[in-house]
């Protein structure tokens, strides 16, 4: 089997971006006939029509739409590898990055991340936004540069992800809670009063539900929108908060934490970014900083 012509990736990237053989030909300084021949080669290589006629124009096939972000990222990566390696002077960089993170991330990792950034690149500013939902439009539109998430199938396939750490659910109660210091059984856990985290306020949307046994039934006294609020209620009442362990180290100081007496699933917290930033050296450095402060010691 012959090796594929990697030069076709550049042409494919331009074709998918322009959605027109004529415009892509002008951009690449080729004749329309040469571009048409290249499109034929791409169709043969991928086994897909890629661009099909709709009225007077061309529209991408579902496979071409899926490839669009991936191809662009590969081309950018290749171009970055072939550029002269200029030394990056972080001390002279002035830039602002916006990070969208789950509740508790800033409290647990934010100060360490800010300290590292300030030491290596004092001209870089970090803004942290709360993450009220799972939509990824803010990454696509450039309003957010990086976010943390538990990656789900519904997330845009073009987005880039990298695992940061594994986490698990634990239970947290105040020190004066009747169960504090005792052996907590599945029965005593389920029969106690709970505060859950649900962005919609609906019990079935509780963020911990996918990691708990199917059909679990708890006595839910309240639903709140974030872990910080859940722990604030648990700190001043006899409610149990079920929350991620590593995300909430700072938030649950002075409280009694315990392993859940029911079967749970662990989960991976990842950072997510748009492929347009893959080859950006400053963004790469920022991703390395986030990985470093999130690596369990």
Round to whole Å and give the CA distance between 188 and 184: 6
**Does pLDDT of 273 surpass 60?**
yes
pLDDT of residue 257 exceeding 50, the answer is yes
What confidence score (pLDDT) does residue 196 get?
Answer: 96
Label residue 109 by pLDDT band (50, 70, 90): very high
The predicted-structure confidence for 186-214, as pLDDT tens digits, reads as follows 999 999 999 999 988 899 989 999 999 99
Q: What is the 3-state secondary structure (H, E, C) of the chain?
A: CCCCCCHHHHHHHHHHHHCCHHHHHHHHCCCHHHHHHHHHHHHHHHCCCCEEEECCEEEECHHHHHHHHHHHHHHHHHHHHHCCCCCCCHHHCCEEEEEEECCCHHHHHHHHHHHHHHHHCCCEEEEEEECCCCCCHHHHCCCCCEEEECCCCCCCCCCEEEEEEEECEEEEECCCCCCCCCCCCHHHHHHCEEEEECCCCCHHHCCCHHHCCCCCCCEEEEEECCHHHHHHHHHCCCCEEEEECHHHCCCCCCCEEEECCCCCCCEEEEEEECHHHCCCHHHHHHHHHHHHHHCCC
pLDDT band of residue 1 (cuts 50, 70, 90) is very low
Residues 6+ apart with CB under 8 A from 165: 246, 268, 269, 294, 295, 296
Q: List pLDDT tens digits, range 279-295.
A: 888 999 999 999 999 87
What mean pLDDT do residues 214-221 have? 94
Q: Which pTM value belongs to this model?
A: 0.67
Closest CA to 185 of 238, 262, 243: 262
pLDDT above 70 (res 156): no
Angle CA 209–144–291, to nearest 5: 70
- What pLDDT, on a 0 to 100 scale, did the predictor assign at position 85? 46
Mean pLDDT of the chain: 88
Domains and CATH numbers, the chain: 7-82 (1.10.10.10), 90-164+268-294 (3.40.190.10), 169-265 (3.40.190.10)
pLDDT, tens digit, for every residue of 50-83? 888 887 778 888 888 878 767 877 777 776 666 5
């Amino acid at each position: 089997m012959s090796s594929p012509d990697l030069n076709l990736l550049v042409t494919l990237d331009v074709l998918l971006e322009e959605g027109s053989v004529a415009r892509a030909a002008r951009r690449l300084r080729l004749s329309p006939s040469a571009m048409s021949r290249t499109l034929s080669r791409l169709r043969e290589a991928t086994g897909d029509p890629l661009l099909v006629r709709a009225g007077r124009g061309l529209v991408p096939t579902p496979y071409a739409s899926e490839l669009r972000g991936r191809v662009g990222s590969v081309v950018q990566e290749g171009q970055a590898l072939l550029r002269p390696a200029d030394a990056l002077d972080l001390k002279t960089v002035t830039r602002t990055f916006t990070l969208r993170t789950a509740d508790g991330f800033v409290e647990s990792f934010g100060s360490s991340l800010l300290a590292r950034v300030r030491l290596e690149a004092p001209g870089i500013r970090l803004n942290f936004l709360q993450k009220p939902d799972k939509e990824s439009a803010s990454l696509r539109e450039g309003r957010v540069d990086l976010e943390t998430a538990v990656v789900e199938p519904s997330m845009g396939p073009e987005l880039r992800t990298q695992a940061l750490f594994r986490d698990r659910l634990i239970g947290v109660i105040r020190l004066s809670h009747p169960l504090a210091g005792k052996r907590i059984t599945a029965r005593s856990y389920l029969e106690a009063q709970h505060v859950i985290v649900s962005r919609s306020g609906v019990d079935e949307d509780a963020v911990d539900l996918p990691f708990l046994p199917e059909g679990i039934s708890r006595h839910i006294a309240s639903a709140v929108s974030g872990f910080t609020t859940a722990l604030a209620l648990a700190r001043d009442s006899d409610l149990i908060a079920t929350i991620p362990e590593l995300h909430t180290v700072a938030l649950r100081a002075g409280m009694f934490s315990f392993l859940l007496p029911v079967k749970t699933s662990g989960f991976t917290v990842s950072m997510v970014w748009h492929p347009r930033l893959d080859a950006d050296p400053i963004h790469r450095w920022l991703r390395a900083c986030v990985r470093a402060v999130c690596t369990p010691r």
